[in-house]
Amino acid sequence: MRVVLLGPPGAGKGTQAERLAEYFGVAHLSTGDMLRAAIAGGTELGRQAEGYVNAGELVPSELLADVVKERLYEEGEFLLDGYPRNVAQAEFLETLEGLTLDGVLYVNVDDDTLVRRLSGRRICPEDGTIYHIENDPPPNGKDCGVCGAELIQREDDREETVRRRLGVYKEETEPLIKFYKSRGLLAEIDGKGTVDEVFTRAAEVLKGYDRGFADDHC
């Protein structure tokens, strides 16, 4: 299985990617994971990337592309989360001989739901416990149920920041939906509902891409 997972911030891609990768027995790859693996492995690309990471700078697109290429060939089968982020990166993936994608799964969630999900998060500054004012409210009102510290809202979880992030996503990443639809690769699922509900929808789509899964469950 070689599948790309697409979706806006707050769609739950990371959570679903981890569960789906484990379920189907393939690697869950994100750009962060790939960079960390290259650095930990001490490869030439990893050493180059480490300098940028340690300096708090973005890894150049060309270097990131080489890291992605190296890891994809290493794994062979994968669920790719967070890459590509734009059409240029998608076109780069098409140049990788022997790594043709089986499909692209788009987790679609409307903006209002995404804003509620992200802006509703509250975090304990002392022990890192995460709550959500709607889905997992703190038992003590505004205070952490573990240590009693007053909860905070991260700057990037504030509504105005969330909407700016969604704007960037629409400009840079949303064109990938049209790109992959034109290739006949895109499958779309509703990203609303519980984690289990979304997982069930995603797994049903991915079963069609996984020949090994089909063989094992005939």
How far apart CA 54 and CA 169 sit, in angstroms, is 26
- The single residue of 142, 154, 178, 183 carrying the catalytic annotation is 154
Q: How large is the average pLDDT for residues 59-73? A: 88
Q: What is the pTM of this model?
A: 0.83
Residue tagged active-site, from 2, 13, 71, 201 = 13
Annotated catalytic residue: which of 2, 117, 121, 201? 121
2 counts as catalytic = no
Catalytic residue chosen out of the listed positions 36, 85, 116, 207? 85
Per-residue pLDDT reduced to its tens digit, 163-206: 998 998 888 888 999 999 999 999 999 999 889 999 999 999 99
Q: Is 117 a catalytic residue?
A: no
Band (pLDDT 50/70/90 cuts) for residue 46 is confident
Of the residues 117, 122, 165, 201, only one is catalytic, namely: 165
Tell me the pLDDT of the chain averaged across its residues. 89
What CATH architecture is 2-26+77-216? Answer: 3-Layer(aba) Sandwich (3.40)
Is residue 207 part of the annotated active site? The answer reads: no
Taking the domains of the chain in order of start, what are their residue ranges? 2-26+77-216
Say whether 122 is catalytic: no
Quick one: pLDDT at residue 218?
A: 37
Q: Which of 28-32, 102-106, 200-204, 207-211 has the lowest mean pLDDT?
A: 207-211
85 is catalytic: yes
Inform me whether the pLDDT recorded for 211 exceeds 80.
no
Q: How confident is the model at residue 53 (pLDDT cuts 50, 70, 90)?
A: confident
